[in-house]
Chains A and B, each alone.
Chain A
Amino acid sequence: MRPKRKQKLYLSLGLIALAAIAVGLTLYALRSNINLFFSPVQIAAGDAPFERQIRAGGMVKEGTVARNPESLDVAFVVTDYVDDLEVRYSGILPDLFREGQGVVVVGKLQSEGWLRADQVLARHDENYMPPEVAQALEDAGYTPEDYQDKAAEMGERMDAQQGASQ
């Protein structure tokens, strides 16, 4: 390579490296602000401000969803399996909302420690499967957290079946 081109190559790569360092440091400094939501552990530790619009996220704890049959009021517990956060909401829930589902709730943390939600968003996980497979898993007594391993296992089994039938 000619010296001039070599110099240009190093200059270009140096520029990219410098920009990467600058962006990396900025993101490192902002790391907690980039998180979309507080987890119940952070709220229990007092990291989240009171009486200000915040977002909290976690799983809807099994068996905690209580609906008022007279109105749209609903109360449930959001958990990260370490700490719990009680949420009260009045409004229409997204289709994906159910016990064991990941959610992000937007609202104000009350001084008594529960959260008055203005909006509830369902968080989808990375697992996809046909309903029959999901039903079979549930019948076999697996929880949603096992789904990924199970989905992989199912895939392997299907591959093996296909290999056998060929």
Chain B
Amino acid sequence: MGKIWSFIHKLGSPKWFYAISARLMPWFWLAAAVLILVGSVWGLAFAPADYQQGNSFRIIYVHVPAAFLAQSIFVSMAVAGLIFMVWKIKVADMAAAVMAPLGAAMTFISLFSGAVWGVPTWGTWWMWDARLTSMLILLFLYLGVIALRGAFSSRDSGSRAASVLAMVGVINIPIIKYSVDWWYTLHQPATFSVTSRPAMPLEMWAPLLIMVLGFYCFFIAATLMRTRSEILRREANKRWVRELAGGLS
């Protein structure tokens, strides 16, 4: 237990985070590349077509991982915001800052791929149902968090405002998740749940699982990389960064 705590404490120091992330990052990039490559080739070329939707169901291999990540990233951002607000750990704020554009991109991908799938399947690309609308609100929340962070002249005020919006906005996540159960929606209920078997055969969900894992590895790798450059940017005047730059400045 003591070891874990000291590891977490070290992560809170920008210098240590910079050193530890350098060792972790290549593995996550590698895992992301392999998983996404295997998952997309398997899903797009080898998985069987659906009995009703034919090949258009294959959009699921991008849509579902992007939608999972869009929600997970928002929760991570809110947790990072809470850690920053309560324990004043700067690295948490830097991570939250770099996660927001990633999450916004994932939300956009899931909305866009859903619309492309909706045209042949539903007969419309957009409908103001609870799932689609709550997902659109998530996109606006991401844009709001990004804009709010930049709207203050002092970085600390911007960080705190963005953290509060992220923490309050996290209420939208259970609404997205349960919207298809609470209300009548055009969007179908979840195919996957923790408690029951997926309503999909193995040869269809195995590549999906690989894609989801690949997307998560990509998110971790990208967050580590972007947090590292954020650390260098914010700590540019610190001695260890100057030494790292080899006394160039």
Contact = CB atoms under 8 A, between A and B. Distances in A.
A125 B123 contact: no
A66 interface: no
Interface stretch (B5-13, B30-38, B165-173, B240-248): B165-173
Nearest to B131: A36
Nearest to A37: B184
Q: Report which residue of B57, B124, B182, B196 has the largest number of chain A beta carbons within 10 angstroms of its beta carbon.
A: B124
A40 to B, nearest CB: 12
B197 A155 contact: yes
A132 B201 CA distance: 12
B199 A152 contact: yes
Given A20-B171, A96-B52, A96-B53, A127 B87 contact: no
Interface string B63-100: 00000000000000000001001110000000000000
Interface stretch (B43-51, B147-155, B223-231): B43-51
B24 interface: no
A126 interface: yes
B188 A133 contact: no
Interface residues of B, number: 45
A126 B122 CA distance: 14
Interface residues of A, number: 49
A75 interface: no
Contact of A9 (B86, B184, B202): B86
A163 interface: no
Contact of B51 (A5, A12, A130): A130
A151 B197 CA distance: 9
Interface in A7-54: 8-9, 12, 15-16, 19-20, 23, 27, 31, 34-37, 39
Interface in B201-249: 201-204
A123 B121 CA distance: 8
B168 A119 contact: no
A104 interface: yes
Contacts of B82: 9, 12
Contacts of A154: 201
Interface of A: 5, 8-9, 12, 15-16, 19-20, 23, 27, 31, 34-37, 39, 57, 93-97, 104, 119-135, 147-148, 151-152, 154-156, 158-159
By Cβ-Cβ distance, the 8 closest A-B pairs, closest first, are A94-B123, A134-B51, A130-B48, A152-B197, A36-B129, A128-B200, A131-B51, A35-B184
24 contacts: A5-B86, A12-B85, A15-B164, A19-B171, A35-B183, A36-B127, A36-B184, A57-B184, A96-B123, A119-B123, A121-B122, A121-B124, A122-B123, A124-B53, A125-B188, A127-B199, A129-B51, A133-B201, A147-B199, A148-B199, A151-B199, A155-B197, A155-B200, A156-B197
